[in-house]
């Protein structure tokens, strides 16, 4: 009897392990499965679809590549504004634009748009007030040359910030009020907008490539920061007089 009970127990454990493995595989695959069309509000033209809202219950949102046989090409203005359910968002090739305030004040914590090669524009305030903590997974490389005004303003960014290569301009208030600790600028940057890093109270250092000798600064670009002397000097040497570094 003891042997029989032991075999039954081992069989049960094996079954649980196998079932668990299968479940894990389904879960991993589901991560990239688009949400059902019924989860979205959208408008359709004769040739494309724009996502205008979300009415699903999943915290993870994967945008479908097409709806009704038409490609999904845009996330509309205010589409996920004030949505306190979503935490993860996935976009693949096909999306060409993200509208103004698309995720404003939402609970978004993670978004992978850096692998999307088709995005050409991102609107003002797109990620303002979100729970995003890292910009690197949140920015497409190549076509988008400007970080828009208010892009990450008052979001939860709280790490060392590396601005991607190819960015030429950082918009007004782009990172204002975040908790970033340092900023590394790319060699391509030519302008930093007014109040771009205002009230980033944890910001202590800015790293600028030596080949960058001139940057145009908007007013109070670094007001309310805790920049060290070396960073202030580096910014001043490149034209930051009156931008909150004195």
pLDDT digits (tens, 9 = 90+) for 186-209: 999 999 999 999 999 999 999 999
pLDDT recorded at residue 210: 94
Question: Are 101 and 77 in contact, with CB atoms under 8 Å apart?
Answer: yes
In the sheet where 191-192 sits, what is the strand order? 146-147, 169-170, 191-192, 216-217
For residue 51, give the nearest of 108, 102, 125 by alpha carbon: 102
pLDDT recorded at residue 243: 75
What are the φ/ψ torsions at residue 15 (nearest 5 degrees)? Answer: -65, -40
pTM for this structure?
0.85
Q: Which CA distances in Å does 49 have to 8, 98, 245?
A: 55, 13, 46
What are the φ/ψ torsions at residue 50 (nearest 5 degrees)? Answer: -115, 125
What residue ranges of the chain have pLDDT lower than 70? 1-31, 136-138, 141, 246
Q: Which CA distances in Å does 226 have to 17, 105, 188, 215?
A: 52, 26, 25, 20
């Amino acid at each position: 009897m003891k042997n029989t009970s032991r075999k039954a127990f081992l069989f049960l454990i094996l079954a649980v392990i196998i079932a668990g493995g299968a479940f894990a595989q389904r879960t991993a695959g589901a991560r990239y499965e688009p949400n059902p069309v019924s989860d979205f509000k959208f408008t359709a033209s004769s040739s494309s679809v724009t996502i205008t809202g979300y009415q699903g219950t999943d915290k993870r949102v994967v945008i479908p590549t097409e709806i009704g046989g038409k490609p999904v090409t845009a996330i509309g203005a205010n589409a996920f504004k004030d949505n306190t359910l979503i935490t993860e968002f996935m976009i693949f090739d096909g999306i060409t634009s993200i509208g103004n305030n698309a995720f404003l004040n939402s609970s978004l914590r993670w978004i992978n748009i850096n692998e999307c090669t088709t995005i050409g524009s991102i609107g003002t305030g797109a990620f303002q007030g979100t729970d995003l903590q890292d910009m690197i997974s949140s920015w497409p490389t190549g076509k988008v040359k400007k970080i828009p005004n208010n892009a990450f303003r008052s979001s939860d960014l709280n790490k060392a910030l590396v601005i991607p290569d190819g960015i030429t301009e950082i918009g007004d208030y782009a990172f204002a009020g975040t908790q970033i600790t340092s900023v590394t600028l790319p060699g391509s940057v030519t302008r930093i907008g007014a109040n771009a890093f205002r009230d980033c109270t944890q910001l202590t250092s800015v790293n600028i490539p030596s080949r960058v000798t001139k940057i145009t600064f908007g007013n109070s670009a670094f007001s309310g920061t805790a920049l060290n002397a070396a960073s202030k000097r580096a910014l001043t040497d490149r034209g930051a007089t009156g931008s909150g570094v004195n």
